[in-house]
Amino acid sequence: MALYSEKVMDHFKNPRNVGIIEDADGVGEVGNAKCGDIMKIYLRIRNDIIEDVKFETFGCASAIASSSMATELIKGKPISQALELTNKAVAEALDGLPAYKLHCSVLAEEAIKNAIVDYYEKNGIEYDKAKYAPGNCPHCHDDGEGA
């Protein structure tokens, strides 16, 4: 079996939604000190719908593919659906990631949630701060499978 699925390689070689949204409504940035991956997600939100999403990622093929797929999965969706996106859903949409690369899908999930929190804070929208505290994502920091 190949190390990476065809979908991972496609999203790595032809990433979707790369770039910056000037004056983004929400921006989320995360990094993993162990591997050096850094992701930044930009959101344009209109009427609670993610109208546009872009990303910048410095990292490996899995990190770039995870960023690309995650943006595809939330573009055009309500904020509530984007908040439900899990790292496991990103990995599944890519037809899997090697176990030691699952942290890349975790970063994508966290970057999206951080961008939504940024949007909420910029607009004075109430949210459960404990639920979205750094390092408190139940999907990202579970029993070790997600990280």
Catalytic residue positions, numbered: 35, 104
Cα 41 → chain centroid: 7
DSSP state of 51: E
φ/ψ of 110, rounded to 5, equals -65, -40
CA distance linking residue 126 with residue 115, whole number of Å: 15
Q: CA distances (Å), 35 to each of 38, 60, 67, 100, 103, in order?
A: 9, 9, 16, 11, 9
- Beta-carbon contacts of 118 under 8 Å, excluding residues fewer than 6 positions away, are 26, 27, 28
